[in-house]
Structure 1
């Protein structure tokens, strides 16, 4: 605690008891806060602590942080954060009616059920995957609208990135039960990454990708609220943890989905974010940030484990995700990282390419590139001339080249009806020494037509191909050669 008075703990306990009685609320305690829940509202009070990473001992600091918390979190969850409420009177007899001096402040929020948290909705059928597409687009807009750090700022520079990684590794080294061989491997990998990425981080700053983001996007801070996924409880007490590369936010959320055994949702979300943001230039730093975020959660888990062990005097504790093992997997300490692969789809519109590509992406931790998305990014609506199509394939080739160079497998979701285009991408795979496959998709003509009409009627998909485009594709498609068929995977569907 933040005082030399031996009775402060008793005083604060009495304060919480009196306040919870006044609000008819139950108290939930976290490491740095108390949260009072009355069934309708949540009231969050910051503990007057002084820790290695924060100092909340001054009343004015706690007031400022409460105001910052409301301001910052209203960016993503405006209906959840209601304001800052002063607590008057004395700690032994607090009131919310304005009688007496202000003794503390609290953030007033709407209460939500526990099962609204995504950490409680990871089981099969508990979360509509389509909601993640909307969340990815919302997060991309949030990052695009957020203030960007200037190049002169220290946020996001190579020194601060390396210091953050070394800090979390030092923290893990001080914990019990962390294998030294694992730490040695992680330190060697981090050192090599610092060398390789030193010229990349300044470019990210120059591109405006270091922004005032959320900073703490794990599954306990993301919820289903009013029919949409959104986030709350961003970091307000330390700007350095909030002014970060936008892909660090994305990596945090995707990492935690993988840690909870939902690789399918993680890669769907990640690729939807890249579709929305177009930030494929960040792929060289993605693995670094996935590993960093996994290590952060591994350290948090170790600290909580020690705290609970002290409180429970050796009692059993539930085990959560093994974040350290996940970091080691991505680094290649326990086993070599899989060789990047290049897969292209093949088939006319409506044949199921996007679904098949998404499934392959989740199984192989692959970046999915969609011709329909890149077509709209380049030209807007209705761009299907031969010249425009050629430009789209040039863009896909460039992005696939960049992703493979960054060490990621790639699946390119496009029709690839021209043999020359298929051959060009096969040559790209050979240049990267990456295995190459064609994912052929087909469906009966009636199913193709029905899917296209349904997709156009809904108006939610990036594809604008209509029945005229389908007819042209069927008339001009160049079939797979015998040589191509040797490395072709087949996906057939007969249902809409």
Structure 2
């Protein structure tokens, strides 16, 4: 059915909402999408659902438009209560239309607080990039949203993943004018292989409660800086089935969007913080699904971008088509075979090994980079305390530390077995600890690389003395004990970190590259478009 077939009955409503008299004399701006028109006037925004029908939605009835308006308010108040003010009727009162009147509803609108449209993160990242504190706050909000989301255990998870994947492929293959046939075939082949490999894992995660009523459309254009803080809005409201997914599939949209923009460090930071905030051991095994899920998200964007090229002027149409083909390439790249690596980063407290581990991690194949397994965080998790809570000396006995290192090695093996690289970030101050992490990689059947980060003793002590807001409990006294009683490995490449951290990062990456050629992700160096 054509998009405009049911638009006639909304002409009066659109004219009313477009009239400055409706908004106290303020001339409204309008933003139109395929399924809605937003009227912006003063501090208010009114979103009118178009009376349209597509294969994936049907807003042709007044009752359905009311339902999805109310659902949009309900869903988005989870993350953006300050933006979503209510669902209001457009009513006929005494022959005239009004918003929120007492007469018969002729349509419905979502009433929102207006915000600066240039503050969405897709625009922010192009202008300034995203500061680490913004990335962290966003990730915390996403993790909290997933924790609170309603669990669904209907047994349909695997079938739904297959439906979405096959629908994407069918739409891409049908659009021969937009997409090269050989690339579409390649994507279908790789998608089918991934679905076959991971069918049991998809079902297992659903049984474990990881399929929830998620956001459904979690990309940068649906996140805005409001009063300096990232706010997630515009959750998918029209199809419960599409938005009821594995939480990793929800997260995959954000990761893919960051990665394809050249923001690999931000994508990797989101992944690692999301894992550390959730503390769900099952997430490490679930990482095997990320390449498939990120590919599926890119395929969705590919077909949407291609659809937007239609009925556009030639220059604008070509821009949309270029974007669509780039997304198709991303979808295919995500499923390219890539061998994971286990990388051990060692050094005394204050050497900057954790900083360098975070900087190295985005570079490790496959996307979105390595999972950083930091001993300080694992110690706090095993103790059942918050990451910033100081632990007593009893948590640092030899026995306690052995348990921390053992847990780190188990997790490294799980991550590598899931297909992603792992960074083992710990002091690694004894020959036994160093041998054990190397054996972990050998047992997992993946390459191993190691690097020892060093700095002079005064630098080590100064750094730990002034450090705040960090999981480490180290003090200058701890540094002294480490230097006196632990050993520096003679067979690990050594990197000095007394100067610019960028120089140490380059040296550490070179050391990893020499030990495991091909371990670094070639796409990380791409510039943001």
What TM-score do you get using the length of structure 1 for normalisation? 0.90
**Structure-to-structure mapping, 1:58-457, within 5 angstroms:** 58-89=61-92, 93-96=96-99, 98=101, 100-123=103-126, 125-150=128-153, 153-155=154-156, 157-175=157-175, 176-278=177-279, 279-306=283-310, 310-312=311-313, 317-318=318-319, 319-320=322-323, 322-332=326-336, 337-364=337-364, 365-379=369-383, 380=385, 381-382=390-391, 383-455=395-467
TM-score by length of 2: 0.85
Unaligned runs of 5+ in 1: none
Greater Cα shift, 120-129 or 37-46: 120-129
Q: Partner of 1:199: helix, strand, or coil? A: helix
Q: Tell whether the 8 Å contact from 2:371 to 2:422 is kept in structure 1 after alignment.
A: yes
Distance in 1 of aligned mates of 2:85 and 2:53: 27
Give the C-alpha shift of residue 489 in structure 1: 5.2
Match status 1:470 vs 2:479: yes
Give distance in 1, aligned partners of 2:94 and 2:497. Answer: 69
Partner secondary structure for residue 107 of structure 2: strand
Contact 1:263 1:362 in 2 (8 A): yes
User: How many correspondences in the alignment?
Assistant: 477
Three-state SS of the structure 2 residue aligned to 1:431 is helix
Distance apart, 1:313 and its partner CA: 5.9
CA RMSD of aligned residues (A): 2.3
Query: 1:221–1:233: 8 Å Cα contact kept in structure 2?
Result: yes
1:180–1:232: structure 2 CA closer, same or farther, 3 Å change rule? same
Q: Deviations over 1:361-419 (max 9, x none)?
A: 11122221111111111113513222221111111111111111121111111111121
Distance (Å, rounded) in 1 between the aligned partners of 2:315 and 2:9: 28
Partners of 2:222 and 2:259 in 1: CA distance: 16
CA separation of 1:450/1:115 partners in 2, compared to 1, >3 Å: closer, same or farther? farther
SS in 2 for 1:86: strand
Query: Are the aligned partners of 1:447 and 1:495 in contact in 2 as well (CA < 8 Å)?
Result: no
User: 1:447 Cα deviation (Å)?
Assistant: 2.7
Instruction: Tell me if the contact between 1:18 and 1:93 (Cα under 8 Å) persists in the aligned partners.
Output: no
How far does residue 329 in structure 1 lie from its aligned partner after superposition? 1.3
